[in-house]
A and B are shown apart, each in its own frame.
Chain A
């Protein structure tokens, strides 16, 4: 394993690992809640990056996997009485499978057509779930609080959710790193640069794209289950938020698309910025406009994101900032 001997991997996993341990050690509920949101977005952005950054396919409605996985997992926990671990795994795997099926159709589209199709898939899923009675229709499902007793009470369950999201975010980052270093990842990046040329050089583009899509759908499904388990209820409006989907895109752009560290940095920076704007009395009502302005400035002037810019500016950092 050549990847294990490189400093880039150890840098990111070290930081993420230490972060979780510090939170566990400090035992502070406020800190835990903030970190839960941050790590969730780090994981969502990193898994989307496998498709967007490496393969160059812009999935605007990627949140559909978070929503569907969350709904399925939640249904298994709340209605069928499955254990959380099993439900989360089922949610993730179901999303991967679904991604393969959807991917067979929509991955034939390129550029903006693909982006539009993913928005359509998300809206169709939202509209369908709002009418689907086993999932509670428009009002959604909610959890009987006695379920938390299986995990040692609601307080323990909150910590458990945090630990799970922390471990998942570590897993996503390691996966993202390994994919980037692998032959498979090289194929994906070749597709990003020029799909036709890549196919001529022997990259099996349809297979590689479908695998990347399935991989990037796996983790959102798992995280969705954990998120809604912690939340205690799930509604179509919360599960398929197009806005949240685009926020993860913003995080990737902010940090640097196609890098492993970028989505992690971008996720943390964007969430912190939004958190600050939301509580600041001066900017509270304008937070959406200011986030938009920040995004516009990045797109126009630093399209490679922070990590991309650093890599270009300081070539020596390239070995460390993957």
Chain B
């Protein structure tokens, strides 16, 4: 019994890092420009597909391929920002929500036409580690490590580079940042690109753990919403902690009730937190 609980919790905890990474992308974009990116799921899917295709056709190691996927995610984000988001950035929320949703439809439609709805699997198994009674799947461990690596990279970038400081300044107060000579349009585009980069990398990591279809990004997008709300929208560190909390919750709930109840608890918690404390459990008042 205890062995099962500990293993289930460890699995959830490791997966939580990847959830947190995906949610961080969403949170960063919200924090900087108050846009909820409804194309988040499809960017995650792009990361999965890119990893899969590079592995299948070019034989690139999925973990090394992550760097290429990151570049791809950044590029995709920049294109989406320029094409769909920039014009509606100051418009009411409905416009940016629908504009990003339109991007979601376009990309998903293209994927559907090109790849179809089949299940894909990155066939790269690394087995599992046994430490006493603890069993850890190596791919989960590496995915967690990858997620941590990218979190550290984001932190260093935001806090120790000039561009990172500019992003934080624009996030704080766009007008004031512009008055200080920060080119806000470029900064916003870069932030959107970074958010999309994190989502794509999360997708790449998920593809090493689970098989996926082109529609698999959707559930992870919804999970990212839940995580962002738990950790406070616009707070990247909160997103990581929220991701870990969600991962642990997913490991914990199946011990007491059927797995199909997990989403009921998740979304129930989501709505409750939004209503009771919209700034998130960790956000400032």
Q: Which residues of A contact B (CB under 8 A)?
A: 52, 56, 58, 60, 105-106, 108-109, 111-113, 115-117, 119-121, 123-124, 126-128, 130-131, 138, 246, 249-250, 253, 257, 285-293, 295-296, 299-300, 303
Contact = CB atoms under 8 A, between A and B. Distances in A.
Given A124-B267, A127-B267, A138-B260, A116 B109 contact: no
List the 4 closest A-B pairs by CB distance, nearest first: A289-B109, A292-B105, A288-B109, A124-B267
B271 to A, nearest CB: 4
Nearest to B106: A292
Contacts, number: 132
Given A124-B267, A285-B112, 4 more contacts: A111-B93, A117-B271, A123-B222, A299-B88
11 contacts: A115-B97, A117-B275, A127-B263, A127-B264, A285-B112, A288-B109, A291-B105, A295-B105, A296-B83, A296-B103, A299-B98
Nearest to B272: A105
Q: How large is the interface on B (under 10, 10 to 19, 20 to 34, 35 or more residues)?
A: 35 or more
Nearest to B225: A116
A290 B233 CA distance: 32
Interface in B187-246: 222, 225-226, 229, 233
Contact of B36 (A52, A109, A115, A128): A115
Nearest to A118: B271
B183 interface: no
B285 to A, nearest CB: 15
A313 B276 CA distance: 45
B83 to A, nearest CB: 8
Q: Is the interface of B mostly helix, strand, loop or mixed?
A: helix
Given A119-B222, A124-B271, A127-B267, A303 B95 contact: yes
Contacts of A113: 233, 274, 278
A246 B275 contact: no
A109 B279 CA distance: 11
B97 A58 contact: yes
Contacts of A287: 109
Contacts of B30: 112
B55 interface: no
A68 to B, nearest CB: 14
Contacts of B263: 123-124, 126-127
A266 to B, nearest CB: 13
Contact of B110 (A109, A124, A128, A286): A286
Contacts of B108: 288-289, 292
Contact of B103 (A124, A130, A249, A292): A292
A290 B106 CA distance: 7
B106 A289 contact: yes
B105 A289 contact: yes
Contacts of B271: 105-106, 117, 120-121, 124
A112 B112 CA distance: 29
Contacts of A115: 36, 93-94, 97
B113 interface: yes
